[in-house]
Amino acid sequence: MTQDLVIGIDSSTSATKAIAWDRSGRAVAEGRKAISLANPQPGYFEQNPDEWWDSTAAALRSITDQVDAQRIAAIAISNQRETFSAFSEEGAAIRPGMTWLDERARPQVARFGKSFGAERVHAISGKPLDVLPCLYRIIWMSEQEPEIFARTARFAEVHGYLTHCLTGQWRTSTASADPTGLLDMASGRWSDDILDAAGIAVEKLPELVRPSARTGEVTHAAAAFTGLSAGTPVIAGGGDGQCASTGAGVTSPGSAYINLGTAVVSGSYGRNYAYDRAFRTEKAVCDDGYIYEQCIRTGTFLIDWMAREMFGADPVAQRSIFKALEAEAAACPIGAGGVVVLPYWLGCMTPYWDPYARGVIAGLSGSTRRGAIYRALLEGIALEVAGQIERITAATGGDIGQFSAIGGGSDSDLWLQILADASARPVSRSTAREASSLGAAIAAAKGAGWYGTIAEATAAMTKPPARTFLPDPRNVARYAELRAIHADLWPKLLDWNARLAAFSEETPS
């Protein structure tokens, strides 16, 4: 039987979705199963690693119920990043997995930054000092759960664990390992300096494999759970952000994507290792390159929050409100009548890296209408993205030519035009609705030998954009003025915000 399909597994925070794709990038079959998330106390966000595997097996079984498993040439994994757990050598979870949402290790972040050096850890790992990387939660385990830490045979992120479940091997992709904060980004190997300082034995980490290389084959045991054929090649994929960039067609210098999802994540592709506080550096799925990634924690989350908390509408049941808000916002001038939004409702990542940052709506007056507030929200996020482009290009030595937009927010014509005008770059609406799964499938296609490079596979398996929004020169000039005003606001609020945060954390007597 002809092996004419590859599977991209997308194991996200809320669910695992597996999709079978053909050589042209057409989705043929899919399966999905939800994953639960526990919040046992403030700042703690955990999952049962068994659910990572159970949901993956169920999603794969759904596919093999629809198509003959003999048609599957290879599979690859895209995974939620910065989520990991501790395991026995056999793969049994020793404790719940700590997800990327977890903030319990803030004290460890501060201490490691002082002892090891914030600039040094950034230079090695490509990650500014922040609570996201797994490194700091592993240190937390060594301090707060020493018995569990000592009993741990393997620390593995989601990709490494699922690879073990499928193949019996403790291996992971460098493009999934790097968000842990334990990787030397220049060499592509685990960092001896960081591991030594953190007290983590390299033997407890998965073996590293380059994206699109083989990590192993599906075992007979995994075949029984999934319906796949034993011996099916399992190919190294990458983190969901890097896979999404590949699925959006970002495989050459100057290309970039922006994912307008719950959070807003944008990234540009380059071949040189570079680091700066304006972005996180990630290993790309494509050809030993890098993704220079910006992240704003609040994207469509903030749109839904505003609809619910400010305008009294259920963002799920009353979707019509967004059509009305779009029309009202489109009627407002650039600058929303003097209203400016800093979208830091869940803290700030690039470029300030301040988990205590809070959102700001400035410039309200008695004549302000909801359409102006909504436009200011869209503009605030767009200005955050646009404001870092010069720093990214200066640090990396390469320009950003255009953005490919994915995610639910990319359905908004108004938002994409604002992004184009604010960034002074074309923004194309991608046709890829499942970009992370497609990116993993592209890695699988290359690993299966269908194509010689990831770039070739991407060209064959992605479609032209649905529509491209070009920057209007008049609007570009106006947004450049607004960006200067926007950029001045947060530095002026730093001390005030610190005082407010301290006050808010005080417990009344």
Does residue 270 fall inside a structural domain? no
364-379: per-residue pLDDT in tens?
Answer: 999 999 999 999 999 9
Query: Which single residue is written with the structure tokens 């991209």?
Result: 8
- Please check whether residues 308 and 222 belong to one and the same domain: no
pLDDT at residue number 492: 93
Does residue 323 fall inside a structural domain? yes
Q: Which of 77, 63, 60, 81 lies closest to 13 in space, CA to CA?
A: 81
Q: With 90 as the cut, is the pLDDT of residue 1 above it?
A: no
**Distance between CA 263 and CA 62 in Å, rounded?**
29
Does residue 154 fall inside a structural domain? yes
The rounded Cα 3 to chain-centroid distance in angstroms is: 31
For the chain, the residue count is 509
- Please check whether residues 142 and 219 belong to one and the same domain: yes
Average of per-residue pLDDT across 452-475: 96
CATH of the domain at 332: 3.30.420.40
The three-point CA angle 281-282-284 to 5° equals: 130
Which residue has better confidence, 128 or 433?
Answer: 128
- Please check whether residues 319 and 228 belong to one and the same domain: no
Does residue 128 fall inside a structural domain? yes
- Please check whether residues 229 and 160 belong to one and the same domain: yes
Residues 6+ apart with CB under 8 A from 505: none
Q: What is the SS3 string spanning 419-478?
A: HHHHHCCCEEECCCCCHHHHHHHHHHHHHCCCCCCHHHHHHHHCCCCCEEECCCHHHHHH
471-506: per-residue pLDDT in tens?
Answer: 999 999 999 999 999 999 999 999 999 898 888 877
pLDDT at residue number 433: 86
Angle between helices 320-330 and 413-423 (to 10 degrees): 40
The per-residue DSSP string of 69-107 comes to GGGEEEEEEEE-TT-EEEE-TTS-BSSPEEPTT--TTHH
208-245: per-residue pLDDT in tens?
Answer: 999 999 999 999 999 999 999 999 999 999 999 999 99
- Please check whether residues 231 and 309 belong to one and the same domain: no
Q: Mean pLDDT across the chain, nearest whole number?
A: 95
53-94: per-residue pLDDT in tens?
Answer: 999 999 999 999 999 999 999 999 999 999 999 999 999 999
342-354: per-residue pLDDT in tens?
Answer: 999 988 988 899 8
The tally of CA atoms less than 13 A away on the side-chain side of residue 253 is: 12
**Distance between CA 138 and CA 120 in Å, rounded?**
19
**Distance between CA 74 and CA 59 in Å, rounded?**
15
pLDDT at residue number 271: 93
Does residue 287 fall inside a structural domain? no
Domain end marker among 242, 271, 287: 242
- The enclosing H or E element of 67 equals none
- Please check whether residues 235 and 360 belong to one and the same domain: no
Q: Quickly state the pLDDT bin for 290 (edges 50, 70, 90).
A: very high
Average of per-residue pLDDT across 390-407: 91
Q: With 60 as the cut, is the pLDDT of residue 3 above it?
A: yes
Q: What is the SS3 string spanning 474-507?
A: HHHHHHHHHHHHHHHHHHHHHHHHHHHHHHHHCC
Q: How far is it between the farthest Cα atoms of the chain? A: 74
Domain housing 497 = 300-388+476-506
Does residue 444 fall inside a structural domain? no
Q: With 80 as the cut, is the pLDDT of residue 508 above it?
A: no
- Please check whether residues 344 and 227 belong to one and the same domain: no
Q: Which residue stretches of 216-345 are H helix? A: 220-226, 240-247, 300-305, 320-330
Q: Which of 294, 254, 253, 257 lies closest to 401 in space, CA to CA?
A: 254
Q: Which two tokens stand for residue 18?
A: 């597996």
Q: Which of 498, 488, 431 lies closest to 462 in space, CA to CA?
A: 431
Report the percent of the chain where pLDDT is more than 70: 99
Q: Quickly state the pLDDT bin for 509 (edges 50, 70, 90).
A: low
Domain end marker among 211, 242, 273: 242
Question: What total number of domains does the chain contain?
Answer: 2
- Please check whether residues 214 and 322 belong to one and the same domain: no
- Please check whether residues 199 and 323 belong to one and the same domain: no
- Please check whether residues 87 and 219 belong to one and the same domain: yes
**Distance between CA 467 and CA 402 in Å, rounded?**
13
Q: Which two tokens stand for residue 264?
A: 């807003």
Helices and strands (H and E) in the chain: how many: 18, 23
- Please check whether residues 62 and 156 belong to one and the same domain: yes
Residues 6+ apart with CB under 8 A from 108: 136, 137, 139, 140, 143
pLDDT at residue number 391: 87
Domain end marker among 204, 220, 242: 242
**Distance between CA 460 and CA 462 in Å, rounded?**
6
Does residue 470 fall inside a structural domain? no
Give the bridge partners for 46, in sequence order: 38, 98
- Please check whether residues 116 and 209 belong to one and the same domain: yes
pLDDT at residue number 355: 83
Does residue 464 fall inside a structural domain? no
**Distance between CA 239 and CA 157 in Å, rounded?**
10
